[in-house]
Copies of this chain bind each other. A is one copy, B any other.
Amino acid sequence: MTTQLDELVRGDDLKALKAAVEAMSSLDIAAQLERLEPDQRAVVFRLLRKNRALAVFEHLDPAHQEELLSRLRAGRVRDLLEQMDPDDRARLLDEMPAGIASRLLAGLSERERQMTAELLGYAEGTAGRIMSPEWVSLQPTMTIGDALERVREVGASAETVYVLPVTDESRRLIGTAELRDLVLARPGTTVDELMRVDPYSVTAVERQEAAARLMAEADLLALPVVDSERRLLGVITVDDAMEILEAEETEDMARAGGTEPLGRPYFGVSALGLARARVVWLLILIIAATLTVNVLAYFEETLDAVVTLALFVPLLIGTGGNTGSQAATMVVRALAVGEVHFADLPRVVRREFVTGVVLGGMLALLAFVPVALIFDAQIATIVSLTLVSICTLATFLGAMLPMLAKRVGIDPAVISAPLITTLVDATGLVMYFLIANAVLNL
């Protein structure tokens, strides 16, 4: 069982608290800090020794970092910022109001300030924003002795020395060498003999997520970032790639559930903040849902004549919503991980159409007998026919809409289960009553 800092903080015994944090790993301290109240967080943080404080600080989410800084004195803030990696620092400054960010930036040393300002020059969400401007590059003609010497000279401040970009005399990226290969090669080998030519790279203006996804797929520990003329600008390391993918997936999950992403940990947001993240979609969805009121009002006569029809409304539209969500979720994920592209639209639609007919047909067959026995054959016919049509329609829409969204530049995850459900609700009801009117000759 890990030590629970919140109890110790409430206990107000600073000595016991200090002893407790000294026995914990930086990661554990950071994880527990994120779950404390803001005031308590500052109390614990002030107890940490200098190096420890930096390590813990680096493990915190940018939103928590910002909030913590606002409770520390100026000198401490400057020290922490000065020692952060430029890319982490850029991410933190991003979180802050512009005025505060530029004041903090001005307090940094010349070198650190310049590196951070450069990163902040790239748009949010781009690879340039999160690359590290501190790398060790090699020349192709170096022997491995020279190369290792260079790593020893400048490696201490670099974010990684495991993947070493190789550049030509005009700083253009022409290869990458792995430290492993340098260490394992026999003396006298030159860098161009063991470097990977035509290495993976991204340009600084590409999306972070594309860079991270590439690193995951190609098993890269670091990815060079270049400008439009292939001149080296920085490297993205695998730990940042993992963070990007995790944040991206948290966003996709939030959207799939019909909320705006929080952009910070769950407990980093108040209950009102939660409500704010959800209210916009809820409003959009409830306005879309007024369509269902209109559809039902339009068919009120049919309903009045056969009130039994009302009994199946939630079941039918619920099933439509479920099949639609299933298809949408799967397609959204397949798009996100790159298994499916827009060009696959006809193939996806064909597959999902078949799936929808099969599922709807099966449910219709299963439903017919019980409904016929409990109600009558006419109602059973209506319910069964509606199940087939609603499942087919829902699966089709659920698969197609995210792909179209991606095509026009909308995050496919926005075409979430709740949105599909709401769309299918109204169209499903129209089909239900049209089928009912036809079967009942109304």
Give A contacts to B, CB under 8 Å: 25, 27, 31, 34-35, 59, 148, 151-152, 155-156, 161-162, 179-180, 183-184, 198, 200, 215-219, 221, 238-239, 241-243, 245-246, 249-250, 252-254, 256-259, 262, 265-267, 270-272, 274-275, 278-279, 281-283, 285-286, 289-290, 292-293, 296-297, 300, 303-304, 307-308, 310-315, 317-319, 321-323, 325-326, 328-334, 337-340, 344, 347, 350-352, 354-355, 358-359, 362-363, 366-367, 417-418, 421-422, 425-426, 429
Say whether B266 contacts A330, CB under 8 Å. yes
CB distance from A248 to the nearest CB of B (A): 10
Q: Known contacts A156-B184, A258-B326; decide if A253 and B351 are in contact (CB<8 Å).
A: no
Residues of B within 8 A of A325 (CB): 257-258, 417-418
Residue pairs across A and B with Cβ atoms less than 8 A apart, 25 shown, are: A148-B183, A155-B183, A161-B180, A161-B184, A216-B243, A238-B238, A253-B329, A257-B330, A262-B330, A265-B334, A274-B351, A274-B352, A274-B355, A275-B354, A275-B359, A282-B363, A285-B318, A289-B314, A293-B312, A293-B314, A296-B310, A300-B308, A304-B307, A321-B418, A325-B417
Contact with A253, one of B215, B253, B265 (Cβ below 8 angstroms): B253
Q: Known contacts A254-B330, A329-B259, A359-B278; decide if A183 and B183 are in contact (CB<8 Å).
A: yes
Chain B's closest residue to A426 (CB) is B314
CB distance from A222 to the nearest CB of B (A): 11
> In the bound complex, how far is the Cα of B151 from the Cα of A179, in angstroms?
12
> In the bound complex, how far is the Cα of B358 from the Cα of A150, in angstroms?
61
Say whether A279 contacts B362, CB under 8 Å. yes
Chain B's closest residue to A264 (CB) is B339
Say whether B425 contacts A330, CB under 8 Å. no
Residues of B within 8 A of A151 (CB): 183-184
Chain B's closest residue to A179 (CB) is B179
> In the bound complex, how far is the Cα of B360 from the Cα of A193, in angstroms?
67
Say whether A272 contacts B358, CB under 8 Å. yes
Say whether B257 contacts A216, CB under 8 Å. no
Contact with A152, one of B184, B285, B296 (Cβ below 8 angstroms): B184
Say whether A221 contacts B242, CB under 8 Å. no
Contact with A34, one of B274, B339, B422 (Cβ below 8 angstroms): B339
Residues of B within 8 A of A27 (CB): 217-218
Say whether A323 contacts B253, CB under 8 Å. no
> In the bound complex, how far is the Cα of B283 from the Cα of A121, in angstroms?
53
Contact with A337, one of B246, B282, B285 (Cβ below 8 angstroms): B246
> In the bound complex, how far is the Cα of B383 from the Cα of A286, in angstroms?
13
> In the bound complex, how far is the Cα of B304 from the Cα of A311, in angstroms?
11
CB distance from A255 to the nearest CB of B (A): 9
Q: Known contacts A151-B184, A300-B311; decide if A253 and B429 are in contact (CB<8 Å).
A: no
Say whether B282 contacts A319, CB under 8 Å. yes
Chain B's closest residue to A253 (CB) is B333
Residues of B within 8 A of A304 (CB): 307
Residues of B within 8 A of A350 (CB): 271
Q: Known contacts A296-B314, A315-B286; decide if A333 and B180 are in contact (CB<8 Å).
A: no
Say whether B266 contacts A339, CB under 8 Å. yes
Residues of B within 8 A of A313 (CB): 296, 310, 313-314
Say whether A253 contacts B339, CB under 8 Å. no
Residues of B within 8 A of A417 (CB): 256-257, 325, 417-418
Q: Known contacts A256-B253, A312-B293; decide if A246 and B318 are in contact (CB<8 Å).
A: no
Q: Known contacts A180-B162, A278-B359, A318-B421; decide if A271 and B351 are in contact (CB<8 Å).
A: yes
Contact with A257, one of B259, B265, B266, B328 (Cβ below 8 angstroms): B328
> In the bound complex, how far is the Cα of B330 from the Cα of A265, in angstroms?
10
